[in-house]
Amino acid sequence: GAVVSQHPSWVICKSGTSVKIECRSLDFQATTMFWYRQFPKQSLMLMATSNEGSKATYEQGVEKDKFLINHASLTLSTLTVTSAHPEDSSFYICSARGGGLGDTQYFGPGTRLTVL
Amino acid sequence: AQSVTQLDSHVSVSEGTPVLLRCNYSSSYSPSLFWYVQHPNKGLQLLLKYTSAATLVKGINGFEAEFKKSETSFHLTKPSAHMSDAAEYFCVVSDTGGATNKLIFGTGTLLAVQP
């Protein structure tokens, strides 16, 4: 149980285009989902927290207009990187919490974004 | 505010020998502590968690960790390393004082297992 999926697993796009990443909780209802960014050989940096049906709460320094987060249902959250640039290239990981599973976050497999 | 410090950025052991990955935490509250493992280009997998029950926590794949309040430590151990244990390990504390219970990650320890 407590499986979280992400799609796509990797994506390459041109500079200036937008990319959408999906995060799904497959076997539980995620009241809260989190989006992290991980640079090579570094730890995870929390970007934002989203609760189902509410606006996401962004961490300091994260541009909300650039990283659009939607948590429209209890099993799906999306992260859209708008007008992507090479510096947005990174590993994006989502996690989900809820469904009576306590405060443990369950992580997706990550999405590797490369912006050319 | 909570924080977590992983004392070693790299640890190398031989297959079959014990593993010790060190973690110290700082918390104003009773912390929830976790160890996660990340294999290359993969997401994070929960190894074990401490939530104020037994101080010795057993996790998956033979790992365990002991919560020592007097030392503010939560070191991860395994009696005998396998090649498949080679990965990045993150010690994590939950910000239980905040409304969202955010996770605060250590900087990670890269475990190498030599044949």
Residues in B closer than 8 angstroms to A104, CB to CB, are 34, 46, 49
Strand partners, A75: none
What's the pLDDT score for residue B72?
A: 93
**Partners of A25 in the beta sheet?**
A4
Closest residue to B108, CB basis, from A43, A103, A112: A43
| B8-34 tens-digit pLDDT | 999 999 999 999 999 999 987 778 899
Q: Is A20 helix (H, G, I), strand (E, B) or coil?
A: strand
Residue A10 has what pLDDT? 95
CB–CB contact A107 B44 (8 Å): yes
* Among the partner residues B36, B42, B106, nearest to A109 by beta-carbon distance: B42
| pLDDT tens series, chain A, 116 aa | 688 999 999 999 999 999 999 999 998 998 899 999 988 878 889 999 998 888 899 999 999 999 999 988 899 999 999 999 999 999 999 999 987 777 788 999 999 999 99
Greatest distance between any 2 Cα atoms in chain B? 46
Q: Residue B100: pLDDT above 70? A: no
B89 backbone dihedrals φ, ψ, rounded to 5°: -120, 130
**Both tokens of residue A27?**
């076997």
- Residues A42/A100, Cβ–Cβ less than 8 Å: no
d(CA A64, CA A48): 9
The tens digit of pLDDT for each residue in B52-69 reads: 778 899 999 999 999 999
Test mutation, B29, B50, B103, chain A, max A CBs within 10 A: B103
Query: What is the spatial distance between Cα A77 and Cα A6, in angstroms, rounded to a whole number?
Result: 10
Q: How many whole angstroms separate alpha carbon B87 and alpha carbon B11?
A: 10
